[in-house]
Structure 1
Amino acid sequence: MKKKSIAIFRSDFLNVSETFVLDHIENLKSNSPVVLLSNEIFVPNDVVYYRISKNKIESFILREFGFSRRINKIVGEHNIDIIHAHFLTDAAVLARYANKNKNIKYIVTAHGYDATMNNGALSETRHGSFFLKNEDLLKNTVDMIICVSDSIKEALLKKGYPAHKLITNHLGICFSALDKLLSNIGGGNGDNDKSGIIGVGRLVEKKGFDLMIRSYALLPYSLRKMHHLKIIGDGPERAALEDLAKNLDVEVKFLGAMNRARVLLEISKSRVFCWSSRVANNGDSEGMGIALMEAAYMGLPLLMYSNQPMANIAKKYSCAKISPAYDYADMAKNIEIILSDNSCFFEMSDRSKLMAASEFDISKSNEKLEHIYDYVRAL
């Protein structure tokens, strides 16, 4: 059967932290994707891609009036009948184009900040203010909004998005690709050799790394000597977090931003994965954590707070120690239990692997995604 063609739009393609976009592209079965982008950051050799505009004038006409001969040509050459944008803020860029071209179905995935951040914070950024100006048009134009978690769906319902256009479909990870990458980098060492607590993410308020550091500081010195806290990522909060670690007199390894292979290698060498995210003051909050999914696949027990979007899933599989929201002292106790009790560690490790296999297989999430494509085509 001949594959149908879709276009996947991400303005900046591809940021190092957005591996889920590439996973989406590489794991479609019945649809052939091309990428539309504004700014080329990193594009793998096997990805077919096009810029949506060649200059500022073309970009302005597209955004403000919805006209683009360039996109029309791409759509015609590839026989594209669906454009799928990642992030609501990006979806606003093509909202007027989609509104003028009803023969092309328009889908967007809402991931996190784009659905939860308050309007005041959004208005302070160029992309956010443009999104707010075109949000009502986007609500009316888009055919389906895919929410990566139920909490994202609930946030959009509260903002007045039509319920019949919202559907939840979790992100997933490709197990075979992870196995290959881990094999190439020498990851996946034996459970008895694992040490340390690891957290992964951009160093911003919503990631809650300050809570993680405070939990770590409450551990007995003997455990901290055996198990370092490693934080992968960079961002505006780094200096403040380094100062916090210094003031609490604890050694934290700030490893900076890393490519996917190095992130996976560090996770594979760690004993426990800590996810301490919070709702930021501007409303920004998590959607679904890819690094957490990867850590679960590698058998790391998980630590998280009860109000996080994946807490209910983790609770079902008993693979996480779940603390009351932002109770870093309780999280410290849970860290100590996992690090000190080998039987607890091995049991939770097995349950993490089971959760990953049951819930985060990208072949299952992309199968549902392609059913959504077929449903939208029939509207």
Structure 2
Amino acid sequence: MPTDRKIAVVLKGYPRLSETFIAQELLGLEKAGHDLVLIALRRPTDGKRHPVHDEIRADVHYLPEYLHEEPLRVLKALVRSLPKAGFWQALGPFSKDLARDPTRNRFRRFGQALVLASEWPGDPGWLHAHFIHTPASVTAYASMIAGTPWTCSAHAKDIWTSPDWELSEKLARARWTVTCTRTGYEHLQSLTSQKARVHLSYHGLDLQRFPHFEGAHSIRDGSDRAEPVRIVSVGRAVGKKGYDVLLRALALLPPELHWRFEHIGAGELTGKLKILGDELGISDRIAWKGALDQTDVLAHYRTSDIFALACRVTADGDRDGLPNVLVEASSQRLACVSTAISGVPELLIDGENGRVVPSEDPQALSLALEELIRNPARRAQLGAAAEQRVRTQFDHHSSIDQLTKLFANEWKLA
């Protein structure tokens, strides 16, 4: 049960279009009675906001993104922190971390923690980090300096691109950690002896924002040039999303099939992907929509025939957890095609409620797409099964209830 203890939630950036699952959780916690203040390490770079961002009441406090940009603020924080016993207690772990990670980023994390502990916006009684890499580092140092307990939500990239020594030590320092896929959960549990402090908690979906689609998806089958099958994907144009694989799969489709692909999202690889589309001879069938808000995304789910996402593990270990867009698309009875990476098979079971193919295999992905393009009845069958699974097992209220109980149990012990 919520108490009057305020929670400071430390985020890498806020607000972010690509992190609707975090915004949804923040709003859910507020509706459950929790008092929040948001601490962001970066200012927003997106030109748009989702409606959910405007519903969150919590104040937002921004730390210096780069210490050299606000030197007086950092210096004041250092001076205020020097008399605190917690500052000297934090120096030991920071020095140990710095010896293993001698980077400017490590200094920046400690400097941001000094500012956080010095300014202490909202006078919180608890710290909670979203992502176990940079935000958790800042949170852990601030926790030691201020003497305030902290917890953590771990997701995907932050788990798989962090060294095991750092994950292990953060798991030991945090009062508990939740993560959103079974693969991530099992990996984190393998790195700590205190396994009961690691919890699996699927984000789920706010089904009020994604209500049941009363309409019907089309019966287009790719045979009519004037009515091409509509394939959509939502995601940042970054390596782990596998859009180069998806484009190659589309190029392998039989020439007599008529289809159109729409990509929603921004990202650093957009330019290269457009060039690849030209090279593959399919650019005239592709629309690059850029970043859209949640309302527009929902409309695209409802007017499309297939959702496709070719998740992969990149060379540095980065990967998706369970992409929220797959849950969103499934909630609208949209047949989904994806790859057997991380938490995707925890939502989609190949042949039962979607198609799941091996990663890095354009041929397999193309064959799955061809099957669904040609067979609208099959799309309808898989889409209906996917929606049923989402509405029975991926309601975000379960995650909010779980987090509320975890906070309540700790506050009883504090």
Residues 60-112 of structure 1: CA deviation (Å, up to 9, x unaligned): 648537553421x622xxxx43222111221211212212344x331111111
Instruction: Say if 1:328 and 1:110 are closer, same or farther in 2 by CA, change over 3 A.
Output: same
Measured after TM superposition, the shift of residue 2 of structure 1 is: 6.8
Q: Determine whether 1:16 maps to 2:62.
A: no
Q: Within 5 Å, which residues of 2 pair with 1:1-80? A: 3-4=3-4, 5-28=6-29, 29-41=32-44, 44=54, 46-51=56-61, 53=63, 55-59=70-74, 61=78, 63-64=109-110, 67=114, 68-71=117-120, 74-75=122-123, 80=124
Measured after TM superposition, the shift of residue 328 of structure 1 is: 2.0
Residues 302-346 of structure 1: CA deviation (Å, up to 9, x unaligned): 111223412133218921111123222112111111121122111
1:191 to 209, 213, 217: 217
Distance 1:285 1:110 in 2: 13
The letter of the residue matching 2:208 is: S
Partner of 2:371: 337
Distance 1:355 1:236 in 2: 33
Distance 1:341 1:321 in 2: 13
Instruction: Say if 1:159 and 1:17 are closer, same or farther in 2 by CA, change over 3 A.
Output: same
Distance 1:133 1:346 in 2: 47
- Cα RMSD of the aligned pairs, angstroms, is 2.9
The letter of the residue matching 2:59 is: Y
Contact 1:148 1:171 in 2 (8 A): yes
Measured after TM superposition, the shift of residue 135 of structure 1 is: 6.2
Instruction: Say if 1:342 and 1:134 are closer, same or farther in 2 by CA, change over 3 A.
Output: closer
Q: Determine whether 1:116 maps to 2:160.
A: yes
1:346 to 371, 377, 380: 380
Distance 2:376 2:8 in 1: 48
Residues 270-292 of structure 1: CA deviation (Å, up to 9, x unaligned): 11111211000111011121111
Distance 1:3 1:118 in 2: 33
Question: Structure 1 stretch 161-170 or stretch 339-348: which is displaced more?
Answer: 161-170
Partner of 2:183: 151
Instruction: Say if 1:375 and 1:58 are closer, same or farther in 2 by CA, change over 3 A.
Output: farther
SS at match of 1:31: coil
Q: Within 5 Å, which residues of 2 pair with 1:234-245? A: 234-245=266-277
Q: Determine whether 1:95 maps to 2:140.
A: yes
Residues 151-196 of structure 1: CA deviation (Å, up to 9, x unaligned): 22234356668534321111121111234xx9xxxx8753127841
Distance 2:215 2:272 in 1: 33
Count of residue pairs brought into register by the alignment: 353
1:169 to 184, 201, 218: 201
**Normalising by structure 1, what TM-score?**
0.83
SS at match of 1:20: helix
Partner of 2:87: none
Distance 1:159 1:56 in 2: 37
The letter of the residue matching 1:291 is: V
Query: Computing the radius of gyration over CA atoms, which structure comes out larger, 1 or 2?
Result: 2
Measured after TM superposition, the shift of residue 348 of structure 1 is: 0.8
